[in-house]
Homo-oligomer: A and B are copies of this chain.
Amino acid sequence: MLTASSRRATRCLGQTLRGVTTAATIFPNEPSVPTVNTFPGPKSKQELASLARVYDTTTAYFLTDYYQSVGNYIADVDGNKFLDVYSQIASIPLGYSNPKLAELARSPQMVNAIVNRPALGVFPSTDYYEILSQGLLSAAPPGMDQIWTTLSGSDANECAFKAAFMHQAARKRGDASFTAEELSSVMLNQTPGAPVSTILSFSKGFHGRLFGSLSTTRSKEIHKLDIPAFDWPVAPFPQLRYPLEEFISENRAEEQRCILELTQIFETYPKDIAAVIVEPIQAEGGDNHASAWFFQQVRTLTKKYNVLMIVDEVQTGLGTGKFWAHEHWNLDMPPDMVTFSKKVQAAGFFYSGKIGRTKEGYRQFNTWCGDPSKALLAKGIIEQIKDYDLLARAAVTGRNLYDSLAEISVRFPQVSNLRGKNRATFLAFDLPSGKERDAFLVKCRHAGVNAGGSGARAVRLRPGLWFEGKHAEVMLAVFEGVLKDMYK
């Protein structure tokens, strides 16, 4: 069932990893192949029904037994074990039941962080500087040395929006104080205290589901219906043809069109635009890519028009073979803020210089201002990534996996628009329709691989960082089997 390329990948990784710690060392009890008996199994159905009495389970795939989930394998309550290349919607970075993280979870420092959860803005803890500087800040994007910690990706984006609004207002206000009119109008949610200012986002972008972040989310109708939204501008995101290297001139023309439209918006939009928010890869809205050139133009334009640039790395952070996907762009000037969350299981936003800091207190402030237990976990995750050079290794695994998928797409033309080359295992491909994509995912689950969808008809791969050639081999074999079943 293996392709020539996946065999090559396995051999190549075997050489690369000789003498190196592998998933087998970290997870001695990781299964070598999936086991699927009855799926969905009777216990899963029954216990999901119990949970459904009190909690929304409409979207549940199966009731998951995390105690039996190890490394790259996720277990359900019926004893089925799936190779997981979805990783809790691109979140679990280092496999299930990672023993080093478990050790950290049992440590006195973690116990303290859990039991004595601080209101960090008022009573910051003695170890928070160390946790941040040795953890999240040690992986800060180039040009950024400040952090604000929050509780989710949505929350990180909204705090970045608030920082952008406050920064832009302070820039215009100069040394002046708030006016009496600002002070009175703001309590009624009216201008000038509550300004008519906006955040621009791109079509098909996803930035979260709280009221501000949802106003910038443009992925799917169902995410937004019936929820009031701010009347904020949207710009077109390039719709490129894949593989990118085969359609260079068409794609450049499409990106130029989008940059021209963005320029038009900056020139003519009747309201202030405080910031632009953009994902390096639109990772919910279809795994849509754009070139470094496109993002360089966005950076140049935002500088020109005094608009801040927020890069939403909530899903791409730690996932594309570098700490940050925007490092692939070789920007002359770093973005103004970078938000993230999933792969550190926490969220914060970095910013350079003073952009995110206000003169006055109690503005970005809230009760928690983050959570040390999550920042500590992030530190443990980042340390393990560095100790084992996992980003570089994911880059190699991803390169080989891309080649194998390319071979499959030759034999199965239904597998099209393969994308994510040189973005490690952050890969995706299309099937002919959403219905076929959904059927493919269900069949894969029955055959032992848990994968996810993105946008209208893409399959997205989001394995963790201990995903190696041998796991890729299992996944490719299952994919081939399902494709044969569907198309031959």
Contact = CB atoms under 8 A, between A and B. Distances in A.
Interface of A: 47-48, 50-51, 53-67, 69, 74, 77, 88-89, 91-92, 96-98, 101-102, 105-106, 108, 110-112, 114-119, 121-126, 128-129, 132-133, 137, 145-149, 151-155, 158, 161-162, 165-166, 168-170, 178, 182-183, 186-190, 193-198, 203, 208-213, 215, 218, 220-232, 234, 341-342, 345, 357-358, 360-369, 373, 377
How many copies of this chain are found per oligomer?
2
A189 B88 contact: no
24 contacts: A47-B129, A54-B145, A55-B132, A56-B357, A56-B358, A56-B364, A59-B122, A60-B122, A66-B116, A77-B126, A89-B367, A91-B367, A96-B115, A98-B115, A152-B155, A158-B210, A169-B226, A189-B229, A189-B232, A189-B234, A194-B225, A194-B228, A222-B362, A341-B367
A110 B114 contact: yes
Contacts of A97: 112, 115-116
Contacts of A158: 210-211
B178 A225 contact: yes
A226 B145 CA distance: 25
B91 A126 contact: no
B112 A67 contact: yes
A230 B189 contact: yes
Contact of A61 (B123, B162, B369): B123
Contacts of A234: 187-189
5 A-B pairs closest in CB distance:
A211-B212, A58-B361, A189-B229, A169-B226, A194-B229
Contact of A212 (B186, B197, B212): B212
Contacts of A55: 124, 128-129, 132, 146-149
